[in-house]
Amino acid sequence: MTRIAFLHGGSHSHLATLADPALAPYRLAPMHVRTDRPDAVRDADVLVVADRLRPDLLTAWASEISAALARGATVIAFGENHVGDWLPGVREQPRPTVFWWWRTGEDHRLRTKHPEHAAWQFFSEKSVIWHYHGVLELPAGAVSLVDLHTEDGERDGSILYVDENTTAGRLLVTTMDPVYHHGSGFMPGATQMLYSALHWATRG
């Protein structure tokens, strides 16, 4: 059975996600970013980094996350985790969030990319287009699945990418925060994103 470690900070949304009956078959192993030891994830096949963790606590886990990728594990890093500070080769910049574009009629300016990529077997458009908290510039070899564009139509950066080339493992990174919104019970698409990412990690 796939061993899945879920790195969290004990917030209401993290705990609500861990208690979700729909996720029970995954048997998520909770790892608290403050009280657990980073080496507790060394036997995990999949490591999920829940969104909105405290940066000063998360950086203590960076070497174990890199080690997990080096040994061939799958890592999912969700948004607002300052990945540019601890993931090699990644640069992150914040962007204003367009929260309710489907109600206001605004262009969300998100564009799906690389429709031939195998990850699209697991993600629907609704699951990857809702909102974001920044843009990412990727290491060479990584593939962006969703880009944000400027109002002038120029590419601004990625909000979701997959990297299956720069390490022995697989990495999915996004500036979306599905655990927060799933656990908080609002934001169309967030639950789909969370479920789809776990499906990709265990079946992809």
Domain CATH number, residue 37 = 3.40.50.880
Segment 77-88 shows an average pLDDT of 96
Q: Residue 108 and residue 124: Cα distance in Å, rounded?
A: 16
Segment 104-128 shows an average pLDDT of 96
The first and second tokens of residue 201, run together, are 């990690």
Q: Which of 116, 198, 110, 126 is nearest to 160 (CA)?
A: 110
**Is 55 a residue whose pLDDT tops 90?**
yes
The pLDDT value recorded for residue 6 is 98
The pLDDT value recorded for residue 188 is 86
Kindly report the CA angle at 82 between 77 and 84, in degrees rounded to 5?
90
Per-residue buried b or exposed e for 94-119, using 16+ beta carbons within 10 Å of the residue's own CB: ebeebeebeeeeeeebbebeeeeeeb
pLDDT interval class at 35 (50, 70, 90): very high
Q: Residue 74 and residue 52: Cα distance in Å, rounded?
A: 20
**Is 204 a residue whose pLDDT tops 80?**
no
pLDDT interval class at 99 (50, 70, 90): confident
Segment 128-149 shows an average pLDDT of 96
Please give the residue that has the higher pLDDT: either 30 or 97: 30
Query: What count of other Cβ atoms lies within 10 Å of the Cβ of residue 184?
Result: 15
Mean pLDDT score across all residues of the chain: 96
CB of 111 closer than 8 Å to CB of 147: yes
Give the HSE-up count for residue 13: Cα atoms under 13 Å, Cβ half-sphere: 18
Q: What percent of the chain has pLDDT over 70?
A: 100
Burial of 163 (0-12, 13-18, 19+ CB in 10 A): buried
The pLDDT value recorded for residue 160 is 98
The pLDDT value recorded for residue 98 is 85
Please give the residue that has the higher pLDDT: either 204 or 185: 185
Domain containing 80 equals: 4-203
The pLDDT value recorded for residue 62 is 97
How many helices (DSSP H) and strands (DSSP E) are in the chain? Answer: 7, 10
CB of 52 closer than 8 Å to CB of 151: no
Number of domains in the chain: 1
The pLDDT value recorded for residue 1 is 81
pTM for this one? 0.97
pLDDT interval class at 192 (50, 70, 90): very high
Three-state DSSP at 44 gives coil
